[in-house]
Amino acid sequence: MATATAANSNRRIAMLKVLNPFHIWALGVGIVLVGEFMGWNFTVGKGGAYASLIACWVIGLLYTCVAMIDSEVTSTVAAAGGQYTQAKHIIGPLMAFNVGLYLVMAYTMLCAADAWVVGYLMQTGAAVMGFADLDTRPFAILTVAFLAWLNYRGVFMTLTINLVITFLAFMALVVLFFAVDPFSQGVVLQHQGLLTDLPYGWIGVIASLQFGMWYYLGIEGTCQAAEEVRSAGRAIPLGTLGGMLTLLVAATITWFVASGLMPWQYLGQAVTPMYDAATLLGSSKLQLMLFVATAFAAIASANGCINDASRAWFSLARDRYIPVFFGAIHPSYRTPYRAIIFLVPIAISFAVTPLLDQVITFSILSGLLGYTFMTFNMLKFRKMWPLGSIHRGYIHPFHPLPAITLLVLCIATYFATFLGYGATLLSIMAFYIMASIWFVLQRYQFVKRADQFTMPWPRPKGY
C-alpha cells in the first residue's frame, strides 16, 4: 500500500493530448482574426490605401516565412512553449528566457487589447440603444476573467469554442464580401473614386509595415499547443499553414471591401472599420452580423492569447527560469492553472488603461523580437541537425531563403516602428535588457541544462 502511494505521488502529471489540426487552426486564426476587423486599417492612416495593400502582402510574406519555419521546428520539437522550447534546445538558456518572455508579453498585451475592444463594442451597442457613456472597464474585466476560467477548465473545450466562433467570424467577412457585389465595380464599391496615389510617398509605405502586422499577428501561437496535440508532425503544419492561407484571404477581403466604401482619411483612423462598412450598406441585418462577428473575433483572440501566454509562462517555470510554483498542472483538468491565474491581473491592468496604442505596440514589438530570433534559430537548427539526421514532421522548402527573407522584413518593420513609436521601441528594448540582466544574476543558477534537453536526438554536427 505504501509502495503504491509513493508511486502515485511521484507520477508526473502531464497535459492531455486531445487536439487535432482543426483546433490548431482555431488557435492560430482565432488569435489573429480580430486584426481583420480592426487595427489593420491604421496602415491606411500611415500611407494611404495602396500602402495598406502593399503592407498586407509584404507582411503576409513575413508571416508565411514564420509559419513555414515554425511548422518544421515545432513538428520536430513538440513541447509546450513553442519557440521558447526551440530556443533552449538549439541556442541556450539566455536566448530561451528572452524568447519565453517575448511570448508571454506579446500574448498578454494582445489579450488586454482584445478585452478593451469587447468593452468598446458593448459601449457602441449601448449607445445605439440610447444608453450613453457606458463604462467599458467592467466588460473588459469580465471578458478576461471568464476566458481565464474557460482555459482553467480544459484546453479541448477552450479551443473547440474558439473553432466555432472563429469560423462564424470568418464567414461574416465572406458574407460581407458578396454583399458589396464585388464583381460589379461602381455599383456599391467605388475604388476608382476613392483610391488615390501614395499620399506620403514610399516612406508612408514603410511606416505602414508596423500596423501591417495586425493582419497576421499571433499565427505563430499554434506552436504553444504542440504538447497537447495527438500528432504534432501532422497537426502543427496543417493547422499553421492552413491558418495562414485563411488569413491571407481574410486580409485581402477586408482591404478590398473597406477601401471601396470609405475614403482613406476616415478609414485610417476608424476603430471598427468592418462594422462601419456594414453600416454604410444600410442593412440592419449586416450591421448586426458584423457587430456580433467583431465581438466573436475579439473574444476568440483573447481566449487564444490566454492559452498561449500561460503555456509559455508554464514552460519557463517548469525549467526553473522563473519560480517553479508556476509550473504546476491541475490534477483533474490537466491545464497549467497557476500560470493562467497569475496572468489574469496583468491582462486586466492593461485592458483598462487608456494607452491602448502603447499596449498594441508592446505586443507587436514583442512578437517582432521573437520573429527575429527565429531566423538565427532556423539557420542553426539546419546546421546542427542536417536533413536526414533526425525525423522532421514537416520540411519547409527553399532553405535558407525564408529565414533570410524573414530577417530582412523584420529589420524593415523595426524601422517602420521607430518612425512612429521610437521612444516606445527604445523603452521596450531597455525592458528586455533589464530582464536579461535579472535572469543572469538571479535565475541562471537554478537552470539545469541536462534536464532541459528532452529530445532523443543524436549529438549535433560538430559537437
Q: What are phi and psi of 19, to 5 degrees?
A: -95, 150
HSE on the CB side for 231, CA within 13 Å? 10
What cell numbers appear for 434 in the block?
533589464
CA pair distance 71, 114, nearest whole angstrom: 26
| Burial tier of 128 (Cβ tally within 10 Å: 0-12, 13-18, 19+) | exposed
**Which secondary structure element, helix H or strand E, spans residue 202, and what is its range?**
helix 201-212
With beta carbons less than 8 A apart as the criterion, state whether 460 and 384 touch.
yes
Q: Which cell numbers hold the place of 39? A: 487595427
Q: Is 387 helix (H, G, I), strand (E, B) or coil?
A: strand
Kindly state the cell numbers that stand for 150: 474557460
Measure Cα distances from 64 to 58, 114, 164, 454 in Å: 10, 24, 24, 28
What local confidence, expressed as pLDDT, does residue 450 receive? 76
Residue 80 has pLDDT above 80, yes or no: no
pLDDT of residue 21: 95
CATH number of 17-446: 1.20.1740.10
Q: Give me the chain's average pLDDT, please.
A: 91
> Poorest-confidence range of 43-47, 85-89, 137-141, 209-213?
85-89
pLDDT of 78 reads: 77
pLDDT confidence tier of residue 11, bands split at 50, 70 and 90: low
Residue-wise pLDDT tens digits, 359-414: 888 999 999 999 999 999 999 999 999 999 998 889 989 899 999 999 999 999 99
CA distance 143 to 112: 10
**Per mean pLDDT, which range of 80-89, 178-187, 291-300 is the poorest?**
80-89
The single-letter code of the amino acid at 245 is L
pLDDT at 439 over 90: yes
- Mean pLDDT of all residues in 290-295: 95
The whole-number pLDDT of residue 6 equals 39
Query: Given a cut of 60, is residue 73 above it in pLDDT?
Result: yes
CA distance 19 to 326: 23
C-alpha cell at 322: 522563473
CB atoms within 10 A of CB 230: 13
Q: What is the DSSP string of 299-347?
A: HHHHHHHHHHHHHHHHHHHHTTSS-GGGG---TTT-S-HHHHHHHHHHH
| Share of residues in the chain with pLDDT > 90 (%) | 78
pLDDT at 9: 39
**356 versus 174: which is more confidently predicted?**
174
pLDDT at 456: 81
Q: What is the pTM of this model?
A: 0.93
> What's the pLDDT score for residue 404?
96
Domain boundaries, the chain: 17-446
Residue 5 has pLDDT above 70, yes or no: no
User: Residue 309: which of 77, 148, 92, 90 has the closest Cα?
Assistant: 148
Average pLDDT over residues 106-124: 93
Grid coordinates representing 31? 488569435
